[in-house]
Every structure is written in C-alpha cells, then in structure tokens.
Structure 1
Amino acid sequence: MKPRTTKTQPAKPQPAKTRSAPTPPRPQPDAAPLAADPARMEIFLVATPGLEEPLAAEARALGWDAQAQPGGVTFTGGWADVWRANLEIRGATRVLARIGAFRALHPAQLDKRARRFPWADWLRPDVPIRIEASSRKSRIYHAGAITQRIEAAIRDSLGAPVAEDAPVTLKIRIEDDLCTISLDTSGESLHRRGHKQAVGKAPIRETMAAMFLRQCGFDGAEPVLDPMCGSGTFVIEAAEIAAGLSPGRMRPFAFERLPSFDAQAWQAMRNAPAPPAPAEPRYHGSDRDPGAIRMSRENAARAGLDGWTSFENRTIGDLLCPEGPPGLVMVNPPYGARIGNKGPLFGLHATLGEVLRERFRGWRVGLVTSEAPLARATGLPFREPGPYVAHGGLKIRLWQTGPL
C-alpha cells in the first residue's frame, strides 16, 4: 500500500498591515507676538555701507560684544546701552532697538497679532508715531498694507496718533514671513552732532569722517591737518576724539519720548566735565575759501573746541607744516563728480602730493576720493585702497600712506 500523501494547501495571503493615519494636530490658538526682554534687546547700529567693520571695532572698544553684518552692527543690551550708544558711538547713523517679532503669513494674521502686541510697554499714548514698513521674500509683500494694519493696531490698542512728522519712528520689516518690530531710538541721523549749522559743497558726514579717522589709526594722540577743510568736519571730529567728548552731547534723541526713559539717569550719563584745552591747538584746517574758514571756526566754537583747533585761509601751495611732532594729514579733496569738471583737478592733486612730500616728512596721509586716477595723480606712495563706501550716490574709498 502506498503511503498516503497529503496535499499542503498554500497559505492564504494575509492582508498587508497598514499604519493608521496620524491624528491631525488639534488647531492651536493663535500664537502670541513675542516681545523682547527690555534688559536683553538686540540693538542694531545702522552703518554707512562699507563701514560696518570699523563701526564694529568702535563698538567693541566701548565694551560691547558687537558683530558686523551687512548694513550694520548688532549686540545685546538694555535701555542704558541704547542711550549710551546714541551718546558715544561716532560711526553709526542710527541706533535701532528690536522690540518684538512674530510670524505673519497673511494680512489678517498680521492684523490680529499686531493688535495683541504690548505696545504700551514700548510707546507712549501721547507721543505721535511714524511707521516705516518693508517686505522681502514674504507672502505679505505690500508695504502700504503693512503700514495701514500696524497704524490701525496702534491707534486702536494704544491710542497714539500717527503722523508723518512724528518724533518717534517704528520700523516694521517682514522677511521670510517673520515680522520684526524695531524702534528708531535716535530720531535725526546721528551725523547731526548739533554744532554744525553751516556746511560747504559736497560735505562729508561726521559719521563717515570718524570711521575714516579710525581706519587711519587715529586715537587722539597725534596732530591732524586737513588742507581742504570745508566746514571743518575732519578737524572737529579729531579734536572731539582727542578731548574725549561724546558726539551726541549737544542734541536730543527719540528715546527721550519713550516710556522707558529715565531723565535723571540720562542726565547723569550725559554730564561730563569739559576737558581743558591744550596749550597750543593740535587740530588744524586750511582752505582757499575764506567762507569755509569762517564756517569752520564757527562750528568749532559751537562744539566748544575753538581752543583745540585752528583754521587758516591758505591755498595748497601756501600750506605749512605745523610745529611739533608729525601726525596725520586727512583730506577729502574735490572729485569733480559733484562740483564740476574734473580735468583741472589733476593739477590740484599733483600739487597736493608735491607739497606733502616736501614739507610733511614723517606725516601719514589719508585721502578720500571716488576717483582712483586723482589719488594716483598725487604721486604719493598709497597702499591698496580700502573698501568702497556709499556716499550720496557715489562710491568712495580711503587711500592711505605710511609715514612720508
């Protein structure tokens, strides 16, 4: 008998195990806007494009852990740091305090979160506000719509009026859908020191002059001469640095109109004894224009620096080297781009270079220009020029020599 065989039934295919679909997250309540800690805000120093690095060096020298980035310098601090930055920083054009941020993917969300922001912690209801808005790489891209919603939120929640000529400016920037709120704590641009009422043609701003002096290694310990001084910007900035005078000592600021302002603490910070003038002026300017010399003397007197400075009506050919140790010749000669034909300027620059080589042995030279051929026309042994710096639609550079 044959052994009985059994047929093995093929296993029935089992249905594949399927993962259960994840439970969709429950809708979360609308996230509250994140306001900054007033003791640890991000403080942003606005720089002239091209001068971020010397501005960061200045901020670090004043004790802040500052980092340069395109357009400015950042560090962390409280309101006292904001006040001191406005008072003491020479190279910044503005000081911004980052007071909050939140995500905004569409106008309704911007409106809702703006109305939930604690405006009363940062703004006074009796002080008019001006709104400046911008957008980049964001779904909310219309600056006018951003401005309207922020204005409405402030009016409705705080009651503060909105005006174009308001003393306090609020800057709203939406980038990658992140809305950042900053307060301009300076008001007028910081190059307005408060002492200059008269200016000449194509003036260089005080903030730029201070950074060019810094790049030349000036620390107040050597004399400075500007042979084309105009309204005296380089000379007065150099004298202020040597005297240890704060650049913001003579002007008001927007932060004085904020609820965080402490008038008594600010007065204590700003009060500093006037240093005695040296026996002889160490900061000199000359110009062929008598009107420029008059302006320079008046500006220096308003700054309290007439004992530190001297200004003489001289042509380049009549320029004399001051008595005493060598120092720094700092000059912003005409480029031709703003004041007319640049052809005759080559002869002027050649004369300047000849006079400096012959009469200023041991002095260093810093020359600011937008025209490399004019710099080379001096025949001076310039090093590689510095980075391009934006100056009223032009791109200027600093050219430096070692001791002649």
Structure 2
Amino acid sequence: MSTAQPFEIFLAAPPGLEAALAIEAAEKGFGPTTEHPGGLSFMGGWPDVQRANLELRGAGRVLARIGSFRAFHLAQLDKRSRKFDWAAFLRPDVPLRVEVTCRKSKIYHAGAASERIKRAISETLGAPLDDTAPLRLMARIEDDLVTFSLDTSGEPLHRRGHKEAVGKAPMRETLAAMFLRDCGYDGSEPVVDPMCGSGTFPIEAAEIALGLLPGRARHFAFQDMAGYDAEAWEAMRAGGPPRDTPLRFYGFDRDAGAVRMATANAARAGVDHITEFTCQPISALLPPEGPRGLVMVNPPYGARIGNRKLLFGLYGALGEVLRTQFRGWRVGIVTSDAGLARATELPFLPDATSVAHGGIKITLHRTGALR
C-alpha cells in the first residue's frame, strides 16, 4: 500500500456522535477533520487507516476513498473503470463485494452500474466477485461523479473480538465508548453499572483505564488488500505494555446468566483482574470502597424489553438508590424514553445526547456529581 499520495479517509459514526468522534480523533492525532452527517473525514495515508481501525473507540467503520472520475453514461463508466488501477488496492485472489448507489446522476440504474464495475474488475484484475464477500468496494455516483471507497474495517468496529456472549438489546462498544466520553470519563475513576447485561460499560471503561487498544484482538479487511505489510502492522498492533491502574470496575445484574456472560467477556478482553460482576438487584446496590466515579447504566426501556408501565417502578428505585447512596458520583443513563428518565428524579444536565440506534432513538442523560 503506497503512502506517497494522501487520500480522503472517512470515519463512520452514529448520527449525533460526530462531534464526540471528532474530539477522539483529534486526541489520537488524526485530522484536521471535517464533520458530515454520519461521520467525519480527513486526509491521510494507509498507516492512518490502519491506526484508525486499531485505536479509535467511537468509529463504526473506516472507509478509504481510493479514487474518483466523471461518468455520464454506462459506456463511459465501463471504460474508465477498466483504466482504474485496481491492482494498487485489491488482490486478484481475494473475493470482492461491490455495492453501488446512484443519486442525481445521468447514470441512475445502480444494478447496471454495478455490473459494469464488476466486469471491469473481473476482466482487468481477475478478482472473484461475491455478493457475500467480507471485502467491500462501494461506488457512489452522485452528480455524475463516481467515487470508489473501500471498507477497510470489514466487520463493524464495535465487534472488538472478545464479547462473544451477549444478552438482550446489547449496547455496542462504540456507543458505550462515546457515552462514557460524553460523561467525562477518561480512565482515571471507577465505573459502576447496576444493570450490566453482558458487561459492555465496565469492560470498555477498564480497557480505557489500562490503555488497551480496542482493535488489538481482531482481523480487519485491509489485511486482505494489496500491499498489506504484515510486519509493520504487527509492530503497530503491539503498541506499548498496558498501564497499571489501582481502579476497579463493577457490574451488577439480577440475571445470573448475564453475570456469567459479563465475567466471560471480561476474561476474553483481558480485564478480568480489574472487573467484578455480581448477581444482585438494584435494592442491594451500594457504592464500592475507594474513590467516587461514574455510574453508567443502560436500563431496559419499553421499546425493546419489558412493559413500559412496569418500568417506572424500576427507574424510580434506581433513582432513589443513586440519590441516597451515591453522593459525589456522576450518573449517565441511556434510555429511549424521557419519561422513564424523569422517573429517576435525578438532576440531569440540559444538554442530553441523542443517537439513532437499532431503529430507535436513544438518549444519554447525564448528571454532575450528586449532592
């Protein structure tokens, strides 16, 4: 993979979290970035692509814009696709999936455009085309401009590679990381999740505290592209040794199966030595010994789990325990229902963060330190 010519790199993010991802990207040395609906872009090279996949906790995917040209009809698309230097990016032995979208262009039939691009790749490079292949080329034809992008991630980046066991309505790791960030979490305080499910919040918080790279344990699509340097990648992925931390991260759930799942996931993530998961109800929740920190919770909400009317009592009980037992702690609650959030009677700050997730809109409600 040549690094001589910079190209546009796009970091996908759920709408509503672009600004949070921009802050993380800047902290990691990427940019300057430009925000777009659903993500942000910056100019860089292949080492930036690899490092973004490896290090960014909030990005859902990393796309590489590998080239573009004008095309006003299918014959022109066919001719210019054949002249494109596919061998600079793709291997002839790796199956490829091609996806095309057309908007405001003289070429308006995505299926016909896809056939021309596929044929050009097949006949000039020889790569097999497969609609189920992990490696994906996206062609966007907008205002008669054809832009080719490669999905360098493969599987979505929230799949860190260690959370094999999940319960109902699991929180994606990328969302959890951005919500933790929005609550001011930086790895220097404990985190408690009273309804931990498969353990996403405590595990993500523990990884941040230890300085573990989120993509350290998985495969990425760029590893199957032309010019991939395995030795350089392994050196990048090795990073430095994990930091030490005296902090502990706690998850509680009344479901013993969820506690077992969270415990197993933490072990696979390599954070089991600083995480504790316990089976207990909200009524038994007490702050752990040590410094105060952040309570982070994604309770059930009626849109997915449970009956909404019955949930008011649950949220009320959660709020009462936090108000009376967790003075000095901050709280973050993720829910799709503002009425349920209000039932906690917690002093939420006015600037709530809302995100589209799984077909519904969820909102992070935050407090300052409880008094």
| CA displacement at 1:137 relative to structure 2 | 1.3
Gaps of 5+ in 2: none
Separation (CA, whole Å) in 1 of partners of 2:210 and 2:171: 21
2:38 corresponds to: 71
Cα pair 2:211 2:243 within 8 Å, conserved: no
1:157 corresponds to: 124
Cα pair 1:286 1:311 within 8 Å, conserved: yes
Give the counterpart letter for 2:54 in structure 1. Answer: L
Q: Percent identity?
A: 64
Pick closer, same or farther for the CA change 1:63–1:277 going to 2, 3 Å.
closer
Out of 59, 62, 66, the residue aligned to residue 92 of structure 1 is: 59
5 Å-filtered alignment, 1:156-305, equals 156-275=123-242, 278-279=245-246, 282-305=248-271
| CA displacement at 1:160 relative to structure 2 | 0.5
Choose 1 or 2 for highest CA Rg.
1
Separation (CA, whole Å) in 1 of partners of 2:219 and 2:97: 18
1:327 corresponds to: 293
Out of 348, 356, 371, the residue aligned to residue 314 of structure 2 is: 348
Cα pair 1:130 1:165 within 8 Å, conserved: yes
| CA displacement at 1:167 relative to structure 2 | 2.9
Pick closer, same or farther for the CA change 1:78–1:97 going to 2, 3 Å.
same
Separation (CA, whole Å) in 1 of partners of 2:194 and 2:241: 28
Cα pair 1:43 1:96 within 8 Å, conserved: yes
Cα pair 1:90 1:247 within 8 Å, conserved: yes
1:25 corresponds to: none
Separation (CA, whole Å) in 2 of partners of 1:260 and 1:377: 56
Per the normalisation by structure 1, the TM-score is 0.89
Separation (CA, whole Å) in 2 of partners of 1:220 and 1:260: 36
| CA displacement at 1:128 relative to structure 2 | 0.8
Separation (CA, whole Å) in 2 of partners of 1:145 and 1:125: 23
| CA displacement at 1:275 relative to structure 2 | 2.4
| CA displacement at 1:155 relative to structure 2 | 0.4
Indicate whether 1:121 and 2:88 are aligned: yes
**After superposition, what is the alpha-carbon deviation per residue over 1:347-393, rounded to whole angstroms, capped at 9, x for unaligned?**
00000000001110100001111100000000000012424201100
1:82 is paired with a residue whose SS is helix
2:75 corresponds to: 108
5 Å-filtered alignment, 1:309-388, equals 309-388=275-354
Cα pair 2:300 2:306 within 8 Å, conserved: no
Give the counterpart letter for 1:220 in structure 2. Answer: G
**After superposition, what is the alpha-carbon deviation per residue over 1:116-148, rounded to whole angstroms, capped at 9, x for unaligned?**
111111111111110011111111112111211
Cα pair 1:39 1:79 within 8 Å, conserved: no
Cα pair 1:365 1:401 within 8 Å, conserved: yes
Cα pair 1:38 1:79 within 8 Å, conserved: no
Separation (CA, whole Å) in 2 of partners of 1:137 and 1:224: 48
Gaps of 5+ in 1: 1-35
| CA displacement at 1:104 relative to structure 2 | 1.1
Cα pair 1:199 1:231 within 8 Å, conserved: yes
Across the aligned residues of Structure 1 and Structure 2, the Cα RMSD in angstroms comes to 1.3
Indicate whether 1:389 and 2:355 are aligned: yes
Separation (CA, whole Å) in 2 of partners of 1:298 and 1:400: 29
- Structure with higher RCO (Cα < 8 A, 6+ apart): 2
2:308 is paired with a residue whose SS is coil
